[in-house]
Amino acid sequence: MNVPNYLKKTVKVKLDVDEDDKDKLLGTFRQFNRSCNKVVEAGWNKSGDKNYNKMELHEETYRDIKDELDLTANLVCSARNRAAEAIKKVVQGWSNGKKASKPQFDKYSSILYDKRSATIKDRYCTLSTVDGRIEAEYVIGEYQKKHLDDKNYEFRSCTLNYERDKDEFYLHITIRKPVLYRNEGNVLGVDLGMKNIAVTSTGKFLGEDMRWQKNHFFRVKKGLQGKGTQSAMRTLKDMAGRENRYTENKLHNISRELVEEAEKHNCKTIAFEDLKEIRDKDEKFNSRLERQLHSWGFEKLQKFTEYKAKEKGVEVVRVKSEYTSQTCSKCGHTEKSNRNGSQFKCKECGYEVNADYNAAKNIGTRALPSDKSSDGLSHGQLALKSGTLNPTAA
Ligand SMILES: [Zn+2]
């Protein structure tokens, strides 16, 4: 199935701006944000209901702003949109019980540019200012070059930021390209668990050391909390940051390895279990705390994997997780006592194997199409340690 979908990225580039152009840009910042504030005034002064209707705000403010300031029509509209959205955000926040007050734009809040107000090239851009258009080259590294040179990406919009402390301008360029999902290929099943964070149907065990490291963090934190001193509190704060970075980094690595494994086995699909379901089930977790900790991590891992897989044209699906740990991946027999901790032994056929690996195969099998489609394409087999297996034989 070809699902039209886009891969979106934001590339941050520093601009090489000379002194003259710098003044023009700073003037543009001041006027842009001034007009944002003017639109907010118009939308906010209405007694009772706040107005964030873009058309109405346009009617009300466009002429005045255009007459008073030197902004181009496009930037006036962009400022109006930005202000309207800021008001909308506050009003929506209120209905969700959030406290928020009238939006206010700082002199140097960022400017939104679109295709008409900015031209984005591979190595430079041109931007509308209050005094004509300026051209600025990028100061970039390999990462930015790689994306800007990829002709499949198209420019969508960008935000110009002025970093006052450094006195530098940065452009955050949003680009996108269509994802071409693979038509043919196999399915990689992935089981998420406590001991090994991820186990694949191809027999790869990932993230075994994470539990140990997490426990280590937990013990140290507990010790520090007991102390209650100021320096202990500071260390605790540092530790929280370190733990977050450790976890993110680890999950990124695991997701990268999952996608590599899928590519290696010529897969078009990576199948996970649906987290909404396992959250309600205790069989995987020893305690509520573990469940909370890990469902958070699992969600991130699935998202990271989905994003990285997209880049390779591999889709991520989620299947029902019910009985995946109690069912024999060889004969299909389901019985609770088939599983004993980390071991799986089928009461029916005697198949004996690591329990997470058995579950990974079941998850993968569930993502296989139930019948052969009529389009003549191969819709995949389950990727296993040694080659593939037909769903009927699995
Ligand atoms: Zn069996």
Reported for 346-352, long-range contacts at CB under 8 A and 24+ positions apart, including other chains, are none
Cα of 331 to ligand 1 centre, how many Å?
4
Closest CA to 40 of 82, 100, 96: 82
Cα of 151 to ligand 1 centre, how many Å?
51
Domains in the chain, please, with CATH? 6-178 (no CATH), 186-389 (3.30.420)
CA pair distance 115, 119, nearest whole angstrom: 6
Q: Which pLDDT belongs to residue 86?
A: 96
Cα of 344 to ligand 1 centre, how many Å?
10
Cα of 340 to ligand 1 centre, how many Å?
14
Sequential DSSP letters for 5-37:
-EEEEEEEEEEE--HHHHHHHHHHHHHHHHHHH
Cα of 335 to ligand 1 centre, how many Å?
10
Cα of 145 to ligand 1 centre, how many Å?
53
Q: Is 204 in contact with 354 (CB distance < 8 Å)?
A: no
Cα of 277 to ligand 1 centre, how many Å?
25
Helices 19-44 and 54-68: crossing angle, nearest 10°?
130
Q: Give 10-residue mean pLDDT values along the chain (394 residues).
A: 74 96 98 97 83 95 96 96 96 89 95 94 95 96 91 91 96 92 94 90 91 81 84 87 90 97 96 77 57 74 95 94 92 93 94 95 90 56 73 39
Cα of 275 to ligand 1 centre, how many Å?
26
Cα of 334 to ligand 1 centre, how many Å?
8
Q: Which pLDDT belongs to residue 375?
A: 55
Cα of 113 to ligand 1 centre, how many Å?
61
Q: Which pLDDT belongs to residue 279?
A: 54
Q: Is 255 in contact with 207 (CB distance < 8 Å)?
A: no
CA pair distance 16, 139, nearest whole angstrom: 6
Q: Which pLDDT belongs to residue 283?
A: 57
Cα of 95 to ligand 1 centre, how many Å?
54
Cα of 338 to ligand 1 centre, how many Å?
9
Q: Which pLDDT belongs to residue 345?
A: 96
